[in-house]
């Protein structure tokens, strides 16, 4: 089982679930200290844990690390594409480097990593892939334009991959696309939860994703209002949608006091 960003937050929680069920854990991250601490903690729980310092914004680093993992551990049966970043600003306030890094980490990296390990799953005709998208990949939002773009890309690619695998007879390779609202990990500190859309606590949310992944569910959306957004987006006229979800639900003001990482 390989988890990107598995050294902390939701990634670490996924690793804990893997250890509890006897999986070998492979963590990709860039912070050596937190990786070491997480690996030691998981090892004390009886886990077999391996860490790799991988900058997933760098395609060549991904390719090299994937080659090493395949050589040292063989096929990856479960891939959790969890790593992600956010930069909150109006589009014209983003630097080109911020745009490039956000797109590389949030969407490009997921594709490159999956491309590296998917052939092994296809050979075994079995596997689980969890791609972390976001509710921001379903609804536009001020001060999140680049982040939204990166997560819309994940939504489109991930579900297309699911369809391609089903079409070609790889029904035992299940792709789960995850579109949460705000999760209380520090990444979105200061963000204001829209009306009837509570900020998710990571432990129960990861539990839900883990169980959904094992069952081969196609999509995980939480809280329930994310389903409402997805359905209303295609039904309502744009200005009416803006009024309801922007002004009444407060989605378009949710990042006004953002100070996360």
For residue 223, whether the previous peptide bond is cis, meaning omega lies within 30 degrees of 0, is yes
Q: Which of 164, 167, 160, 197 is nearest to 180 (CA)?
A: 197
**The one catalytic residue among 147, 170, 182, 252:** 147
Active site residue 147: yes
| Size of the chain, expressed as the number of residues it contains | 261
* Distance separating alpha carbons of residues 224 and 228, to the nearest angstrom: 7
Token pair belonging to 180: 């949460």
Token pair belonging to 196: 């009837």
* CA angle in degrees (0–180, nearest 5) for 17-19-21: 75
According to DSSP, the residues that pair with 28 across neighbouring strands are 4, 52
Q: Which of 222, 152, 210 is nearest to 176 (CA)?
A: 210
User: Residue 139: CB partners within 8 Å, gap ≥ 6?
Assistant: 148, 229, 233, 245, 251
According to DSSP, the residues that pair with 130 across neighbouring strands are 80, 176
Q: What is the CA radius of gyration of the chain?
A: 18
Q: Which of 162, 180, 182 is nearest to 172 (CA)?
A: 162
End-to-end, the C-alpha distance of the chain in Å comes to 26
* Distance separating alpha carbons of residues 205 and 200, to the nearest angstrom: 7
Indicate which residues carry an active-site annotation.
Answer: 147
């Amino acid at each position: 089982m390989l988890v990107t960003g598995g050294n902390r937050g939701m990634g670490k929680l996924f690793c804990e679930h893997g250890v509890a069920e006897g999986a070998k854990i492979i963590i990709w991250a860039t912070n050596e200290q937190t990786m070491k601490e997480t690996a030691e903690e998981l090892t004390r729980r009886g886990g077999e844990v391996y860490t790799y310092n991988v900058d997933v914004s760098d395609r060549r680093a991904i390719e090299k690390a994937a080659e090493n993992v395949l050589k040292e551990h063989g096929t990856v049966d479960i891939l959790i594409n969890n790593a992600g970043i956010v930069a909150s600003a109006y589009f014209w306030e983003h630097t080109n480097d911020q745009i490039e890094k956000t797109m590389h980490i949030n969407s490009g990296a997921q594709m490159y990593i999956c491309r590296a390990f998917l052939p092994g799953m296809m050979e075994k005709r079995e596997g689980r892939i969890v791609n972390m998208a976001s509710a921001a990949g379903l609804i536009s939002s001020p001060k999140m334009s680049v982040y939204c773009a990166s997560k819309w890309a994940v939504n489109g690619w991930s579900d297309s991959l699911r369809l391609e695998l089903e079409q070609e007879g790889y029904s035992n390779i299940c792709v789960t696309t995850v579109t949460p609202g705000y999760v209380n990990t520090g990444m979105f500190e200061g963000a204001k939860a829209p009306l009837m859309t509570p900020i998710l606590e990571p432990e129960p949310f990861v539990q839900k994703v883990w169980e959904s992944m094992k069952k081969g569910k196609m999509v995980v959306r939480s809280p329930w209002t994310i389903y409402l957004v997805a359905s209303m987006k295609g039904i309502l006229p744009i200005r009416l949608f803006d009024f309801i979800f922007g002004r009444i639900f407060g989605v378009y003001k949710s990042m006004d006091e953002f100070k996360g990482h």
